[in-house]
Structure 1
């Protein structure tokens, strides 16, 4: 006698348990019936969660706990057919789908009150060592990807947080320690596979659907479709040298001036990746630099010797190892500093510094940081230059010419502390505005951010809107800061800035839904 698989048996138990519990309720408020839900759940391989399920409270949470939404349905997709079934179910029952890989959107764009298509189970990693390529599922976390690539001695620029997944990260650009040598994460994409609103799957690269290929790499998630997989060009890396330096408030301005003037522009500096932060330590601001050098300790020591010779420089960390080890050590375990409480609320805003600051300017920043309303708020700096600045219209990531991405994170634990921290954040960004170019990193969105479209995409916005209208004509995956449909230009208006694309047809690897 044929026996049913354990997974199918568990799904049937879940369906019948849910149905039995619901029969005792007064009414079913969902826009679909129990029978419709049961039919759908049997169609997908992944797990389906609805509000009556015991695991719903956990399933609806995202990284930023202030976003408390209550979806009608959450689906943990395991394959592309699951995603297609989700889109068909959404269309049938008038649901608004939103995609979630890790739930790290700082503006809460990966959760809503309708339908969540969770991609975290589409997380395979296939590596071709000879060709130095990897095909990576859109829901793959960097914890998984970095660990797999490390075994092959290969690398692609990645973020500092292990929980972040490649899908949303790549579509927003993707900055990491090695971006100054190898470019943004989106610059290393050779091809990707995406499901469109109608269930059709398209492949995009330099020759096939080249307009979509250009737009998605920097165009931000929830604009064009559901990203299923990414093919990366990888880089050979061996052991690297990691270090940490820090300065107190009095000595930090000189270090900041030297970093901006001498450690951003220059070919010899590209192997030196670093990130900086100002945090509160012992009730006062302290400036931290965390660096990773793709080479040996001696070469790095010679390069950073002027920094180490500055008055008040402290050497906090020095170690040699693989990227996966150093990335974790440098960013997750720096030095003893106040940690934000568990389940803390957070908001952040990003801006791009494109002007040179002097010691007086940096001191004003540090003085303002000294007024911080709690010990957890921090300033972050991600220097650009190198391979990031060399690229000329490779994709829609427009932020190429700035010195650094500069952002502020504020935290609060009690709701009564919310407004104090938000006001402080706004005042800080106003203080720094004269040194910024008006743009903002789309991977750090902020709720209610004004003129977000121009801040995220600048002169590329017109091209992005035109291409979006081709692949996502009904704006299915919209969020509050999405790319708006193209507006009718007056006669004689100049064409949108960006590359000219051939009128390539959409190539479906599977037939779209009717």
Structure 2
């Protein structure tokens, strides 16, 4: 419940939430051509991740395919009036080729559902029996525009049109919460970046994995070595350090020993009792 990853200590039977009324939000989405995508990514990391963007602004950057063409898109919501939200993203709209393709006010549930299929349903038309391979990592160093361009070039070598790369920006309240206050230690980073590929058979799986590895190798010098524990990766050599870090993992092992001393809840990357 506090970042230790599910299935380690017991079974959650009930959760209570304190909800806050949010009358309306502004939903927006911007697309660019390939020539501007690296510039957009550099600007987003520099001015919209740990600092620069108002806390009312949330967004994701997506590289994906629609009708066989690569889509470069940022979409998000602003928890406040449209004019304030527009001012917050205006630097993105000043980049040549920018198109505001979603400009919509509504409730959060309405827009959350709307963005499932608008302006593009990514990924789309997945055949039956398709499998997925994913890799993620935390970016904590500035990535030069030239390297972002290499990432985009590698993305264009995707094996099939069900591939995606997307960013999850950090900062704001995430960064303010003390690292030692929970088992979620990923607080002082720019973003989590996710590389997502799909495949239909073993031959395609090998090609997709090579494509993912190529992207990851480009980004590795700018990562801190940690991985979001909700995107588990069985290939990690030291999953405990990647998910939680040494100090937090020791605390989690103490909790595990107290509540599950016989290691009943055990799986491939579960927390081991002391």
The TM-score bracket by the shorter chain reads: over 0.9
Match of 2:176 among 383, 387, 390: 390
Match of 2:83 among 298, 305, 320: 298
**Structure-2 residue corresponding to 1:5:** none
Structure 1 position 410 matched with structure 2 position 213: no
Query: Who is 1:329 aligned against?
Result: 114
Give SS of 1:290's match.
strand
CA distance in structure 2 between the partners assigned to 1:246 and 1:255 by the alignment: 10
Higher Cα radius of gyration = 1
Q: How does 1:57-72 map to 2 (within 5 A)?
A: none
Counterpart of 2:266 (choices 448, 457, 478) is 478
1:266-345 pair list within 5 angstroms: 266=51, 269-281=54-66, 283-335=68-120, 339=124, 340-345=126-131
Residue pairs, 1:73-222, within 5 angstroms? 171=1, 217-222=2-7
What does residue 238 of structure 2 align with? Answer: 451
**In the TM superposition, what is the alpha-carbon distance from 1:338 to its structure 2 partner?**
5.6
The equivalent of 2:216 in structure 1 is 429
Quote the residue 1:368 is aligned against: 154
Per the TM alignment, residue 322 of structure 1 is displaced from its structure 2 partner at its CA by 0.8
CA distance in 2, matches of 1:306, 1:448: 39
Whole-angstrom distance in 2 between the partners of 1:294 and 1:345: 36
Do 2:70 and 2:156's aligned partners in 1 also have CA atoms closer than 8 Å? Answer: yes
Q: SS at 2:231's partner residue?
A: coil
Aligned twin of 1:27: none
For the 8 Å contact 1:248–1:285, the answer to whether it is kept is no
* Secondary structure in structure 2 of the residue aligned to 1:233: coil
Aligned residues: 271
* Equivalent of 1:240 in 25, 28, 32: 25
Query: In structure 2, how many angstroms separate the alpha carbons of the residues matched to 1:306 and 1:264?
Result: 14
Counterparts of 1:435 and 1:353, CA distance in 2: 6
SS in 1 for 2:197: strand
The Cα shift of 1:444 comes to 0.9
Shift of 1:285: 3.4
The CA RMSD measured in Å over matched residues stands at 1.7
CA deviation after TM superposition for structure 1 residue 349, in Å: 1.4
Q: Retained in 2: the 8 A contact 1:267–1:386?
A: no
Deviation at 1:282, TM superposition (A): 5.5
Counterpart check, 1:357 vs 2:143: yes
Q: Using a 3 Å threshold, how does the CA distance of structure 1 residues 256 and 228 change in structure 2: closer, same or farther?
A: same
Report the TM-score when normalising by structure 1.
0.51
Alignment check: 8 A CA contact 2:25 2:77 kept? yes
Deviation at 1:292, TM superposition (A): 0.4
Q: Is the 8 A contact 1:316 1:335 kept in 2?
A: no
Over residues 438-480 of structure 1, what are the superposed CA-to-partner deviations in whole Å (9 max), with x where a residue is unaligned?
0001111123332111111113111111111111111111111
What TM-score does the superposition give when structure 2 sets the normalisation length?
0.93
Shift of the alpha carbon at 1:415?
Answer: 3.6
Gaps of 5+ in 1: 1-170, 172-216, 487-514
CA distance in 2, matches of 1:424, 1:327: 31
The CA distance in 2 between the partners of 1:380 and 1:244, in whole Å, is 14
Give the match's secondary structure for 2:116. helix
C-alpha separation between the residues in 2 aligned to 1:378 and 1:341? 16
Tell me how far 1:300 sits from its aligned partner. Answer: 0.8
* 3-state SS of paired residue (1:250): helix
What is the CA–CA distance in structure 1 between the aligned matches of 2:53 and 2:156, rounded to whole Å? 35
CA distance in 1, matches of 2:222, 2:238: 18
1:264-320 residue CA offsets vs partner (Å, 9 max, x unmatched) = 234761000011111134645332111100011111111111111111112121111
Question: Distance between the aligned counterparts of 2:204 and 2:55, measured in 1?
Answer: 42
CA contact (8 A) 2:61 2:167 kept: yes
After superposition, the C-alpha distances for 1:102-145 in whole angstroms (9 at most, x for unaligned) are xxxxxxxxxxxxxxxxxxxxxxxxxxxxxxxxxxxxxxxxxxxx
Contact 2:154–2:214 at 8 Å: present in 1 too?
A: no
Of 204, 210, 226, the residue aligned with 1:439 is: 226
Cα distance in 1, alignment partners of residues 122 and 269 from structure 2? 34
- Listed as ranges, the matches of 1:254-265 within 5 Å are 254-265=39-50
Higher RCO structure (Cα 8 Å, ≥6 apart) = 2
Whether the 8 Å contact between 2:132 and 2:199 is mirrored in structure 1 is yes
Q: Is the 8 A contact 1:244 1:330 kept in 2?
A: no
